[in-house]
Amino acid sequence: MEDTVKFISQLDLNKGKYYKKRYSINKIGNSTTTVGIPPAVIEKKAEEKGMTSDEFVKKYQLVAIYNGFDGVFYTFEERKYKKKTRKKINDSKESD
């Protein structure tokens, strides 16, 4: 994470090649918002790690870095926990 913060301080969008896309913000309830990430970003990161996009999404999480500068910087971190999955419960009763 420290490397990412160092990178942010060196980030200059006037130099080099970058992409810019606009996405709408969706509010869900009172405490959550969602923003789309371009599929090309996920595909590129997955390829760098030798994974499929689905494998990458399961193994990594998106991290938002903000508050010390104008805007938000997003990066990826490997999950430190397994994604919780819902287990289907069989409600049927067994007959004798």
In a domain, 52, yes or no: yes
Question: In the prediction, which pLDDT does 84 show?
Answer: 58
In a domain, 92, yes or no: no
Q: Where does residue 28 rank: exposed (0-12), middle (13-18), buried (19+ CB within 10 A)?
A: exposed
How many folded domains does the chain comprise?
A: 1
The secondary element (H helix, E strand) that includes residue 34 is: strand 32-35
- Host domain of residue 62: 20-78
pLDDT (tens digit per residue) in 29-82: 888 888 888 899 999 999 999 999 999 999 999 888 888 777 888 889 998 876
Q: Tell me what the mean pLDDT of segment 6-35 comes to.
A: 73
Q: What is the pTM for the complete model shown?
A: 0.60
In a domain, 14, yes or no: no
Question: In the prediction, which pLDDT does 31 show?
Answer: 82
In a domain, 28, yes or no: yes
In a domain, 57, yes or no: yes
What number of residues does the chain have? Answer: 96
In a domain, 84, yes or no: no
Q: How far apart are CA 21 and CA 44, in angstroms?
A: 16
